[in-house]
Structure formats: C-alpha cells, structure tokens
Amino acid sequence: MQKVTVAKGDGIGPEIMNCTLDILNAAGAKIDWEEVEIGEKAYPAGNSSGIPELAWESIRKNKVFLKAPITTPQGGGYKSLNVTLRKALGLFANIRPCKSFYPYVNTKHPKMDVVIIRENEEDLYAGIEHQQTQEVIQCLKLISRPGCEKIIRYAFEYAKLYNRKKVSCFVKDNIMKHTDGLFHQVFLEIAEEYPDIEADSWIIDIGAARLADSPEMFEVVVTSNLYGDVLSDIAAQISGSVGLAGSANVGESCAMFEAIHGSAPPIAGKNVANPSGLLRASIMMLNHIGQQEIAQKIKNAWSCAIEEGIHTEDIFKEGISTKLVSTTEFGEAIISRLGLSPKKLPSVQYQVGLKIDLPKYKRVPSPAKVLKGVDVFVDWKGSDPDSLAEKLQKLNSDIALSMITNRGVKVWPNGFDETFCTDHWRCRYEVSNGKPAENASIPNLLQQALKENVDVIKTENLYEFDGTRGYSLGLGQ
C-alpha cells in the first residue's frame, strides 16, 4: 500500500476529486489515502499560506500528493498556495501533456501532442513585489543558472525517455537579455549534450502564436514559469478543453499531481465539471508510484468513454458526442468500462521503471566579480530630468552620474520631451576611469544623498563578471 496525501480543494475541487477517487478505488489502486484540508477553509484560520502544519507534515512524510484545484483569495496579503507548495517542496518541473483526441473530442488540431515543461520555482513567481513610489510598483523576475539547468536538462531527459524527437525553448531574450538570455544560453549548452534530439528556440510571442495555430509543430516545449503557465492553458484549451489536461509537479523527493485548470467557481456545485484533468494527473501519479497496471486500466476505460462520445458539457458537441453527462455520470461510465480496451483510440501500455534522475548541480568556480557602479532609484515628483541630474551630480565621487532613465528609457543626458515620466527614476553612477569602484563608494554616495534630501528608494550594484557586463543598458543609451 502506498500512502498518498489528498486534498479535495475548492470550487469544483471536491466534485472532481470524489469522482477521481471513486475511479481509482474501483480500479484497485493500492493506495492508502490521507486527506488534508488546505485552501479556502484554511486561509481564514489565520494561515496566510492556506496550508496548516498537519497538511505539511502529511505531504512531506508521504512524498506523493494528489491535489484538487484551490481558489487563491485575491489581495489581502494571501499568497498562492499552489505556488507555495511547488516552491517549498522543491517541485521544480511542471509537466503538462496536452494532446488532442480527434475525432472524438472536437478540436481544430487533430494531430496535436505537445508536452509543456514549465519551470516551477523561479521567475516572476518569486512573488517579490514592492511599491516604491506613489506611482510605481515593482515585481522581481529571478532566473538562476541552477534553475535553468535543472528544468532544461529535465526536458531533454524527458524527450529521451519518451521518444520525443524535438525540444523547443520559449523565451523573450530580445527584451530580457540577461534573465531570459540566461535561460536561452543554458538551453543551447545543454542541447549540445543531446545530439539525437532536435532543439529549436522561439521568441515567446511568435512561438505562442505558432503553438496556438499549428501545435503539431511542437513536441516538448521547455520554458520559464509565467510563460509556461499561460502556454499550457492555451495548449490544453485548443486540444479540446482546459478541463482535459493533468500535470505532474516533480522534485527530487516529493511529487504533486493536479489538473492544470483552477477551481472554476462559476460551475462549482453544479456537477458539470470535467474530471478528466485530475483523473489524467492521477494516471501520471500511478505511473510515478509504480502502479502501471492500474494506470493503464483507467486510461483505457477513459478512452473508451471518450471515443463512445460520453462527454461532459465542456467538450460536448452535437454530431460528435452521443451523451451529455454530469461529473458523476462520467465517473460511473469510466468505472463500468474498467478492464475494456478502446476500439478506436490507442490502447496504452505503460512501461515500468521509467524515471528521470538528474545529476546534482555543481557550482563552477566563482568568476571575477568587479564593482563598476550603482543604479540609485529615486522617488522624485519633478518633471525635468536636467534639474534632477543637476541635483544628483553633486553626489559624484569616484563614481559619477552617467545616465538617468524613467521606466527604463533614457531621459538624461539628451532625453526626448515626448517621453512620459513617472515619479520613479533610475540614476546610474559609474566609474569613469576603468578601475573598480571603491567598497565605500556606494555607502558614501547614499550618505551624501541623505544630506541633499534625495529620496533614495533602492539601489542595485553594477557588476562585471569575468569582464562581461552583468546589467542591462538603458533603452536609448
């Protein structure tokens, strides 16, 4: 018996989870379920993460978690429980297969069979946000080399294990040259280690357009957290319904399985939701815990119901579907087909022992890191950058004011009158003699700023690593 933690979640969660558990139990899954309560009910009990201590204990002890969708309360300082779980448990890879079941489920993309592999721990989902001035709020996008290496290697290993011929990388490194640039760079490095797998790279905007238009062009897509979140909903929806796709969140010791969709509050309690996403996630879970036979039995029974046209509302289509069913009726239809093989859709045969083991990350020797200056961010309600520059040049020392930008666009020297400026100014001080800045340069500058009544809201050090600039230029610089 395998112990698995289960949470029935919010909104449509309990309906689709009860249906899924009925199917798993009827199929003979050898699982001892341990139910925990997380989410909407746990938030008001004073737990801003929505996860009580007992739930953490259960998940960390059992290491396998089947989770229904959870509603994230908007505002109020509540953090997304889903993001907290993924990050706290080190579930770095989010695997989201999106496949069409044409002609039995209506889709414009009959040949689509793409797996989105989404980085799960970094990017804008670090959730580090600050209001810095009256007008400007910032969200930090964090991308790390270990994070990139893990997810990209995982994608290539996944392709190798499941006989996929191509891995595509989606980034926006024409704009975010350092963060997305690192993701792309690591992709190119790791792709070289897999000469038998085709590797291509896409700028996310045109890549997403192609994915939505011709998904059959793609096999495995690897991308960062936010892009992966958006892309996988698009991919699932165009395969037939967002209600069809399941996902595995995998880490070194724990794994969490869930539908890719949310708690769908408008249809909650109506017994109309499609349980397929969660059921397909539970099939991934059965494979993960080595119960391939049960996984096969359920997948085949599900395919039987789908090809017979027994469909929930989200995929029901006159002329294709034969019977509109509720969530519970769909579950009953699957249970009554356990042991049967589909006649038209392929019957699955899952292999035992497929596992991806990644090498431990090895930190390379530290590069030479040289301080070249500092970006000082200033809250200033004026509108003429020249007068701000005049004030700030009084602070010059071995580092001197070289540029002012507003929302990234250079406004001094030689800015344009047309540029709209907010109250958030990035003022760059750089060494001019080619030598490293002094250790004391920045604290001295800040002390001077205090004396001159300059409202400094934050600083970012400017470094070169092994002679390569580690910071972006201003737009128009």
Looking at the Cβ atoms of 219 and 258, the one nearer to ligand NAD is: 258
Looking at the Cβ atoms of 187 and 330, the one nearer to ligand NAD is: 330
Q: Which residue is nearest to ligand NAD (CB)?
A: 262
Applying CB under 6 A, the span of 269-277, 295-303, 330-338, 406-414 interacting with ligand NAD comes to 269-277
Question: Is 149 among the residues that bind ligand NAD (CB under 6 A)?
Answer: no
DSSP E strands, 278-352: 310-311, 323-324
Q: How far is the CB of 171 from ligand NAD (least distance, A)?
A: 23
Cα separation of 395 and 405, whole Å?
17
Q: How far is the CB of 268 from ligand NAD (least distance, A)?
A: 9
Which x/- pattern, by CB under 6 A, does the window 291-330 give for ligand NAD?
-----------------------x----------------
Identified binder of ligand NAD from the candidate list 97, 147, 207, 243, rule CB under 6 A: 243
Backbone phi, psi, residue 407, to 5°? 50, 40
- According to DSSP, residue 463 is labeled E
Q: How far is the CB of 155 from ligand NAD (least distance, A)?
A: 21
Q: What is the 3-state secondary structure (H, E, C) of 162-181?
A: CCCCEEEEEECCCCCCCHHH
Question: Is 264 among the residues that bind ligand NAD (CB under 6 A)?
Answer: yes
User: How far does Cα 433 stand from its chain's mean position?
Assistant: 43
Applying CB under 6 A, the site for ligand NAD has a residue count of 20
Site for ligand NAD in 407-466 (CB under 6 A): none
Which x/- pattern, by CB under 6 A, does the window 274-293 give for ligand NAD?
x--x----------------
Identified binder of ligand NAD from the candidate list 58, 263, 291, 296, rule CB under 6 A: 263
Looking at the Cβ atoms of 69 and 342, the one nearer to ligand NAD is: 69
Measuring CA to CA, how many Å separate 388 from each of 391, 412, 458, 475?
A: 5, 9, 17, 19
Question: Is 123 among the residues that bind ligand NAD (CB under 6 A)?
Answer: no
Backbone phi, psi, residue 103, to 5°? -90, 15
Question: Is 71 among the residues that bind ligand NAD (CB under 6 A)?
Answer: yes
- Within 10 angstroms of residue 289's Cβ, the number of other Cβ atoms is 19
User: What separation, in Å, do the N-terminal and C-terminal C-alpha atoms of the chain show?
Assistant: 63
Question: Is 70 among the residues that bind ligand NAD (CB under 6 A)?
Answer: yes
Which x/- pattern, by CB under 6 A, does the window 76-105 give for ligand NAD?
------x-----------------------
- The count of C-alpha atoms lying within 13 angstroms of the C-alpha of 112, restricted to the half-sphere facing its C-beta, is 31
Question: Is 266 among the residues that bind ligand NAD (CB under 6 A)?
Answer: yes
Burial of 352 (0-12, 13-18, 19+ CB in 10 A): exposed
> Given phi > 0 = left and psi -120 to 50 = alpha, else beta, which region is 75?
left
Closest CA to 132 of 422, 374, 388: 422
> What strands, in cross-sheet order, belong to the sheet with 2-7?
31-35, 2-7, 64-67, 255-259, 246-250, 93-99, 113-119, 220-223, 166-171, 198-203
Q: How far is the CB of 325 from ligand NAD (least distance, A)?
A: 12
Question: Is 262 among the residues that bind ligand NAD (CB under 6 A)?
Answer: yes
Tokens of 374: 């500092």
Closest CA to 100 of 217, 244, 233: 244
Identified binder of ligand NAD from the candidate list 66, 267, 334, 431, rule CB under 6 A: 267
Identified binder of ligand NAD from the candidate list 273, 325, 378, 421, rule CB under 6 A: 273
Q: How far is the CB of 238 from ligand NAD (least distance, A)?
A: 13
Binding site for ligand NAD (CB under 6 A): 12, 69-72, 82, 242-243, 258, 261-267, 273-274, 277, 314
